[in-house]
Each structure stands twice: as C-alpha cells, then as structure tokens.
Amino acid sequence: MQQTTITADFNGFIEKHSEPAWLAGYRKKNFAVFKERPLKKSKYVDVEKLESLLKVTKAQNPLPAIDGNGVRVFSFQEALEKWPDKIRAALAGENAPKDQFEAFINAFFTDGFAVFVEKNFAGEKIDVEFMPKDGSISKNFFFLESENKTLVFEKISGHGVFAVSENNFVAQEARVEIARLHSNQDTSTGFFYNQSILSKDSALLNGNAWINGHMMRSNTFNNLCGKGGSVRQFDALFLSRQQLFDLNNTAMHIETDTQSNTVFRGIVAGKSKSVFDAMIKIARGAQRSNAFLQAHGMLLSAEASSNNIPGLEIEADDVKASHSASVAQVDEEQVYYLQSRGISRKDALRMIISGFLESVLLNWNENLSEKVFIEIEEKTGKIEDA
C-alpha cells in the first residue's frame, strides 16, 4: 500500500475520532515512526506477507470472556472515559516501537479492552479468552495492582490477519504471573506486541507458548522502571508443517537493583522456520542489575530452521549479565535408547519434545501450564517421524 494512501487514511482517522489531544498526539508520534521506517528485506521473514497488516479492514472485536472474581473488564473506550490517567500513564511508559508494524498498530488501533485487578482482589487465577477477528487491530491493557499474588491465563485464538498490542502495568510490590497460549487458526497471520512496565519492588513472570498459526511476528518488551523490580520471561515454541515465527524479546533495565531472566526453548519440525532475536539492555544508571538470557532450539527435520540471536547492550559498570544460545538436531542416541526399551520412535520423540519444553513450562504455575501441556501433547501426536 502506498504511503500517500496510508497518510490520507490516517488524517481521516484522526478527524473522525474525537479523542483527547494527548491520545491523538500518541497516535501521531507513532505514525511518524511508521513513515520513517520502511519495510526491511530479511532472510528470516516474508516481508510481502507481513505487508498484509497494512491493508486490514479494522474489524471490531467483542470483549474477551473473563472468568475471575473481582476482576473488571471494559472496552478501550469505556476505560478511556473512566480511567484516562491510567491509560495515559501506560502509553507514556511504552518504549519506542521496534518496527514499522508496531508503530502502525499504535497509530491505527480501533478497539481493545482493559482489565483491572485492584488491590483488594481476593481471587487467584483469571482466565481470559480473546479471539481477534480477521482485519482487527486491538490495543489491550492489564492493570495489575493486587497486593495478593495474581495469576492470569490468556488464550489468544486469532483468525485471518490480525494485530494485538498489550500493555501490562505491574504496580509497586505486586506479584503477577501471566501466561499466554497463542493457538491461532492454522492459516492466520498474526502480530503480537507486548510491553510490561514494572514498578518498584514488583515481580512479574511473563510467558508465551507459541503453538498454532501460519505466520507470527512478535515483540516482547519488559521495562524494569522501578528499583528492585524483577521479571522472569519463559517462552516455549513448537512449530510443524510450514509455519514461520519471528519472535523478538528485550529486557530493559532502567532502574537500580533490577533482575531479569529470559529463557526460550523452541521445537521446529517439517519445513517450519523460527527466529528468536533477544536483547538485554542495561541503562547507564541501572547499577547492580542482574540479567541472564538463554535461547535453545531443537530441529526435528533437515528442512526445519531455528535462528537464536542473543545480544547485550550495557552502559552501567556494576552489573552481571550473560547469555547463551544453541540449535541442534534431535539427539538420535536418546531416540535409540528409548527405542531399546521397547518404545516406538514416535513415542520416543513425544517424550523428548515434552522434556525439552517442560524445562520452560514447569516454571509456570501449574494452573497456567496445564492447558498448554494438553495442546502440546495433541500436536506432538500428529507430528511425522523425523
């Protein structure tokens, strides 16, 4: 789509929506980023297919189904009317868009929702089922302020071409675990961008299980904005057939005495391709930060591809930071050993796959990981022998 056409669409969009000046300014800032960053050719992703986001019809999504006592959910417009200061603070705390697509989502989102978990929340687990429609662009918010430990499980089941941007705002001293199961339609092309803003002495476990969908581009950005904040990011991926997933992750240490631990494990089979491009960034004033990043892939076929790209950007001098990465074929000695015990090759692969991904998923609360294990087991049963 030509830039002139998109610019005309954006100007009409701003005129049509009577939004607060600060929100219009937020959209304009992101649109300026969008115009400045042309699509880049890549050996890892299909740029032409990604361009389909720029042609979406901006369909409206229903509010997600939520099961949880004492939790309130509102449409974006309702939340904007009731809690404009919270929405504004969440948007102001975002890091700059990493790519053109995230900037496009922030400029053009047409719907979304906000989930509020307040300090007196007495429950534990919150189930969110979100089914973005073909052609939808959603901006969602999770305001997590409970003094009690809060567990959030979100299942995202997208159709067609869809885009989702979610912000997690973790209040001071809050303890939160969020796990997302990305189980999209097999032919779908999805965009998922997640930014978490951690306050002083807050703790977040943030997890993604990437299972279904044809093509996915994602960026997870954990902003450690408060002293003493900590984040643990545990992501698992299981691709087969001809899936293509381009995943990005950043742990940004801004304040002192912060901690991050990012762990990714991916299984890639068939003719699928995965990219996990991750970075630890430690700002100049973020002394005594402690950060670790590891990314490991396993290939189940000669035509599969896994690219794990860790990196460090450190400006402070009193820190601990390290990373590791590996990609390897499935260990045939392990397969042979299990077969020698009377286990079929298919069952042996199933056990190896489960064990490889369990090292990530068992870090999740069992109430969050249970549904993911079920989907992994189902998908493993369908995979062809390597």
Report yes or no on 264 lying in a domain: yes
Report yes or no on 376 lying in a domain: no
Q: What proportion of the chain, given as a percentage, has pLDDT over 70?
A: 91
Q: Could you read off the pLDDT of 52-90 as tens digits, one per residue?
A: 777 766 778 888 877 666 788 999 999 999 999 999 999
The backbone region for 20, taken as left when phi is positive above 0, alpha when psi lies in -120 to 50, beta otherwise, is beta
Question: CA-CA distance, 149 to 315, in Å (whole number)?
Answer: 33
CB atoms closer than 10 angstroms to residue 60: 12
Question: CA-CA distance, 281 to 112, in Å (whole number)?
Answer: 30
* Helix H or strand E encompassing 60: none
Q: What pLDDT is stored for residue 39 in this prediction?
A: 62
Question: CA-CA distance, 23 to 311, in Å (whole number)?
Answer: 34
Q: What pLDDT is stored for residue 292 in this prediction?
A: 96
Q: What pLDDT is stored for residue 23 in this prediction?
A: 93
- The more confident residue out of 45 and 314 is 314
- Give me the mean pLDDT over the 292-311 stretch: 93
Q: Measuring CA to CA, which residue among 268, 257, 333 is closest to residue 296? A: 268
Q: What pLDDT is stored for residue 371 in this prediction?
A: 83
Report yes or no on 61 lying in a domain: yes
Tell me: pLDDT of 336 over 50.
Answer: yes
Report yes or no on 82 lying in a domain: yes
Contact 171, 225 (CB under 8 A): no
271: Cβ–Cβ under 8 A, 6 or more apart, which residues? 241, 242, 301, 303, 304
Report yes or no on 385 lying in a domain: no
How far, CA to CA in Å, does 327 sit from each of 11, 141, 244, 358, 382?
46, 35, 17, 17, 23
Listed in sequence order, the DSSP H helices in 315-364 are: 332-339, 345-361
Contact 42, 105 (CB under 8 A): no
Tell me: pLDDT of 180 over 60.
Answer: yes
Question: CA-CA distance, 353 to 361, in Å (whole number)?
Answer: 12
Q: What pLDDT is stored for residue 383 in this prediction?
A: 67
What's the token pair of residue 146?
């409970």
Name the pLDDT band for 44 (thresholds 50, 70, 90). Answer: low
Q: Could you read off the pLDDT of 246-291 as tens digits, one per residue?
A: 999 999 999 999 999 999 999 999 899 999 999 999 999 999 999 9
Q: Measuring CA to CA, which residue among 243, 295, 234 is closest to residue 266? A: 295
What's the token pair of residue 363?
């870090």
Exposure pattern of 113-125 as b/e (b: 16+ CB <10 Å)?
bbbbbeeebeeee
Question: Helix (H) and strand (E) counts for the chain?
Answer: 9, 18
Q: What pLDDT is stored for residue 57 in this prediction?
A: 67
Mean per-residue pLDDT over the chain, rounded: 87
Tell me: pLDDT of 2 over 70.
Answer: no
Q: What pLDDT is stored for residue 385 in this prediction?
A: 43
pTM of the model: 0.90
Contact 185, 159 (CB under 8 A): yes
Question: CA-CA distance, 97 to 119, in Å (whole number)?
Answer: 31
What domain range includes position 35?
3-331
Tell me: pLDDT of 142 over 70.
Answer: yes
Name the pLDDT band for 3 (thresholds 50, 70, 90). Answer: low
CB atoms closer than 10 angstroms to residue 324: 11
Report yes or no on 345 lying in a domain: no
Report yes or no on 184 lying in a domain: yes
Question: Total domain count for the chain?
Answer: 1
